[in-house]
Amino acid sequence: MPNDAPTAAARDELTSRVLPQMVFSDASNPLTAPLKAPEGLSPDACSQRRFSIEGNAIVTGGSGYLALTAIRALLEHGASGISILDVGPSLSKAETGISQLRQDFPQSTIIAFEVDVRDPTLVESVVKRTVEKLGSVDMLLCFAGVVGTAHAHEYSLDEWKRLLDINTTGSWICAQAVGKQMIHQGTGGSILFIASISAHHVNFPQPQVAYNVSKAGILQMARSLAAEWARFGIRVNSISPGYMDTILNHGAGLDEGRNIWASRNPMGRMGDPEELTGPVVLLSSKVAGRYITGTDIMVDGTPFSGDLDG
């Protein structure tokens, strides 16, 4: 039988390890200190400042309807630049919507890049190109994701890996690249992941184990990064939408599912994409969201938090 006992040198190496430790912020750090409102502001100016959006945002999966709705809200609240990241076919389909944003917000710079979030080299390159064009990256919103619905005993390993690579690893790749840039800038920032009610409980009636696992990972990623990066002034949060009334949930084949989802929800309906924009603005604003990090906001129209989805 092979001898798996560690050698003396290996034992010495194990016992001499030094555990890496997080470093938290402190009250003297201007990146995490409270932001006091300037004196003499009018009530209108105070309300506008409270939910103001400052700086530039990268939005992955940015040509999807939920993301475009969120981008519009960021621009309405003052974002100066948006960098939309998505795969080529999705960007092509969203040309009209992106053009409309440019027309409606001529004071802001809106750029777009074809990116697969699974490619770390390409993601890092696009972050750098965004900084070159916009001057900084102050927010990241990770909307990129795919859904997989299939019975667990029939789910292929390739499809399992693909879904987690896009939803979870892709979000990590983008967060790490943007986090490095924010640390380099020294100005702090906000990272916002889009999780799901599927991260909290099991969907019904559709089987989607891989998707549920991918979104549960997003929650822990947000909490972990929030703890590690607080000292850099980087807040990391997530939003967990319920079933949203978009094209992805339309079609005669989904009628039965839609009826079941509505029947299990106290509000009796799916969510409207506009109903995500309040939490998006709250968590992206460095004023309103200043003391919020490592938090997940469920936007699903139900008070249920532990059993099957409402």
pLDDT level of residue 309 (50, 70, 90 thresholds): very low
pLDDT, position 255: 76
268-298 pLDDT, tens digit per residue, is 888 899 999 999 999 999 999 999 999 999 9
**Residue 65 vs residues 62, 118, 121, 305: alpha-carbon distances, Å:** 8, 21, 27, 26
Does the pLDDT value for residue 162 go beyond 80?
Answer: yes
Of 239, 240, 241, 237, which is closest to residue 295 (Cα–Cα)?
A: 237
For residue 216, report the phi and psi dihedrals to the nearest 5 degrees.
Answer: -65, -35
178-195 pLDDT, tens digit per residue, is 999 999 999 999 999 999
Query: Is residue 275 helix, strand or coil?
Result: helix
Q: Please tell me which residue, 196 or 204, carries the higher pLDDT value.
A: 196
- The whole-angstrom separation of Cα 103 and Cα 295 is 34
Contact call for residues 97 and 72 (beta carbons, < 8 A): no
What does the radius of gyration of the chain's CA atoms come to, in whole angstroms? 21
Sequence-distant (6+) residues with CB within 8 A of 29 are: 231, 233
Bridge-based pairing of strands 234-241 and 296-299 is parallel
108-137 b/e with 16+ CB inside 10 Å = b? Answer: bbbbbbebbbeeeebbbebbeebbeebebb
Bridge-based pairing of strands 109-114 and 81-86 is parallel
Does the pLDDT value for residue 244 go beyond 90?
Answer: no
Full set of structural domains in the chain with CATH: 40-299 (3.40.50.720)
pLDDT, position 261: 76
Contact call for residues 53 and 74 (beta carbons, < 8 A): yes
Q: Please tell me which residue, 249 or 294, carries the higher pLDDT value.
A: 294
pLDDT, position 150: 92
Residues marked as catalytic: 196, 211, 215
**For 203, which DSSP code?**
-
Does the pLDDT value for residue 71 go beyond 80?
Answer: yes
Please state the rounded mean pLDDT for residues 76-105: 96
Please state the rounded mean pLDDT for residues 21-41: 93
* Edge-to-edge strands, sheet with 139-142: 109-114, 81-86, 56-60, 139-142, 189-194, 234-241, 296-299
- Crossing angle (nearest 10°) for helices 157-164 and 209-229: 30
